[in-house]
Amino acid sequence: AQLPILEFPDPRLRTVATDVDPSQIGSPEFQRLLDDMFETMYDAPGIGLAASQVDVHQRFMVIDVSEENDTPMVFINPQILASEGEEVHEEGCLSVPGIFAEVTRAERITVKALDREGESFELDCDGLLAVCVQHEMDHLLGKLFVDYLSPLKREMVRKKLAKARRNAA
Ligand SMILES: O=C(O)C[C@@H](Cc1ccccc1)C(=O)SCC(=O)c1ccccc1
Ligand SMILES: [Zn+2]
């Protein structure tokens, strides 16, 4: 099922997620949640989705940066072991619809996490995957890409979204 995505400035997006209990990963409920998150992400459409965005405050995220939407990736209890370089990339966010801004992040990262089978893996990422992993991991810390904007610009974003919500209502 598609899950409702929380939208800025909803304070629940600021919650810091807690580690997933590895013994829960194999449960039907957790596997169903992963499936629902992929369905929600592909439908949005998006290239990533953090559990925080669907009001589940546990440390996991789903990503698929492939052109064909056929490379689903699950990162549970992710941690960045190493990072290097700097790269500016235009980012969007399903929790801040219609807003795009440039963000500077590490160019290359080594991320360690558990996969959907609960197996530990390490991955060297660069390019859009590295950007997306860092963007999703920020969500798990209650951070949004608009936090990298000036307070003035962030206020403009808040007003723009509030207006869009009024018009939609
Ligand atoms: O809010 C999210 O976490 C999803 C976000 C991830 C992201 C996008 C761009 C840079 C970093 C992280 C999105 O997927 S926004 C939508 C988007 O960028 C996109 C949608 C369809 C095709 C390609 C990109
Ligand atoms: Zn986002």
Q: Please report which confidence band the pLDDT of residue 169 belongs to, taking 50, 70 and 90 as the band edges.
A: confident
Would you say the CB of residue 67 lies under 6 angstroms from ligand 1?
no
Q: What is the mean pLDDT of the chain?
A: 97
pLDDT at 50 over 90: yes
Catalytic residue among 91, 119, 136, 155: 136
Burial status of residue 88 (CB atoms within 10 A of its CB: 0-12, 13-18, 19 or more): exposed
Whether 29 is catalytic: no
Three-state DSSP class for 45? coil
Strand stretches in the chain, DSSP E: 48-50, 60-63, 73-84, 87-91, 101-105, 108-114, 120-125
Q: Is any ligand 1 atom within 6 A of the Cβ of residue 131?
A: yes
Q: Tell me which of 4-8, 113-117, 129-133, 165-169 is least confident.
A: 165-169
So what's the pLDDT on residue 21? 98
Q: Which pLDDT belongs to residue 99?
A: 94
Mean pLDDT of 5-26: 98
- What's the confidence (pLDDT) of residue 149? 95
**Residue recorded with tokens 């440039």:** 102
Most informative mutation of 43, 75, 93, 96 for ligand 1 (most atoms within 8 A of CB) = 93
pLDDT (average), residues 6-25: 98
**What ipTM score was computed for the predicted complex, to two decimals?**
0.96
Q: Is the pTM of this model over 0.95?
A: yes
Is pLDDT above 90 for 167? yes
DSSP 15: P
User: In which order are the strands placed within the sheet that holds 73-84?
Assistant: 48-50, 60-63, 73-84, 108-114, 120-125
